[in-house]
Amino acid sequence: MTILAVDCMGGDHGVSVTLPACEVFLNRHPDARLLLVGQADAAAQSPVLMSSGRCEWVHATEVVAMDDPVEVALRRKKDSSMRIAIQQVKDGKAQAAVSAGNTGALMAIARYVLKTLDGIDRPAIASEMPNRKGGGTTMLDLGANVDCTAEHLLQFAVMGSALVAAVSGKEQPTVGLLNIGEEVIKGSDVIKQTGELLRTAGAAGDLNFFGNVEGNDIFKGTVDIVVCDGFVGNVTLKAAEGLAGMMGSFLKEEFSRGPLRKLAALCAYPVLKAFMARMDHRRYNGAALLGLRGLVFKSHGSADVYAFGKAMDRAYDAARNGLLERVQTRIAHAASVSGVASTGGLTNAS
């Protein structure tokens, strides 16, 4: 069985979302088991789960709030549901952990408890963004690393390739480097250096490098994976979420206006509804924290039952298809490309 540890207390809604999502998840995956981590009184809120025979409640006395500073979450709340869920992965009791809690706290705790893999300087956050082909473009980093070297971006590309291969079955997904133009002479010095490393890695068979891509290529689906630093990635993610929200607000406003505007909105509704469904970030919920000695997936803090279930699905697929082993294998093979390898892989700055 595939076993997930779920931080039931995390996020904006806590058990009112996580427990119903766990019920739906178990119905979809008969070969899965769950370790539900939370405060003792929360267990009574889902008798169906507890009587299923496929769940175990793991007690935690503390909860990491969405506005808790990283220092508080890491140093003071050592018995939090978030930390204990990750500890289940460290102890080998679960293959992946899922939380909708504070992103900064989750990354800090996961890195502290699990440590980084050999050959990884910095973990990265990777998730899908919708594209016009009807699928998703995986993008990383989405906010864990603001300042990155060319070697870091190479590692992101290799880890992203392992992620897409694990969850999609495409063994050689295409990788694009986000830039201000397709030409190799464009971009900052770091981007130019990264391009050289990625071309070398591509020639060595470590990844399938497409070349430079621009922002619109993310939504065109030009490549399977887009690599960038965390500052650019997070801005892009928030802008895409804002666009989807704006479309929803626009449609509601049109229906609230005069008869002619309502008629026009009704005529356009099927097209707009299809567009909103494709752009619905809930379908792509579940960001992977890559580069750790264990699998951790981050759900959006405001996720509803549907969205949190999608994050659990991604964690399940990654665990079931050996994502951790794939990352280790690809990083070890690509170690010599960066030029910082000596013995045993890239320099590990964890």
Positions of the chain with pLDDT lower than 50, given as ranges: 340-350
- Confidence at residue 109, expressed as pLDDT on a 0 to 100 scale: 97
* Residues paired with residue 6 on neighbouring β-strands, in sequence order: 36, 98
If you classify domain 2-121+284-327 with CATH, what class do you get?
alpha beta
- Confidence at residue 134, expressed as pLDDT on a 0 to 100 scale: 82
- Confidence at residue 341, expressed as pLDDT on a 0 to 100 scale: 38
The answer, yes or no, to whether the previous bond of 317 is cis (omega within 30 of 0) is no
Going 43 to 66 to 237 to 138, the CA torsion angle's sign is negative
- Confidence at residue 242, expressed as pLDDT on a 0 to 100 scale: 76
User: Between vectors from CA 181 to CA 175 and to CA 182, what angle results, nearest 5°?
Assistant: 50
CATH 3.40.718.10 boundaries in the chain: 2-121+284-327, 129-281
- Confidence at residue 340, expressed as pLDDT on a 0 to 100 scale: 43
- Confidence at residue 342, expressed as pLDDT on a 0 to 100 scale: 32
Q: Is 80 strand, coil or helix?
A: strand
The rounded distance, in Å, linking the Cα atoms of 332 and 310 is 30
- Confidence at residue 96, expressed as pLDDT on a 0 to 100 scale: 98
CATH of 129-281, one of 3.60.20.10, 3.40.309.10, 3.40.718.10, 3.40.50.10470: 3.40.718.10
- Confidence at residue 284, expressed as pLDDT on a 0 to 100 scale: 87
Q: State the burial class of residue 244 (Cβ atoms within 10 Å of its Cβ: 0-12, 13-18, 19+).
A: middle
Identify the CA nearest to 117 among candidates 327, 272, 299, 335.
327
DSSP state at residue 5 = E
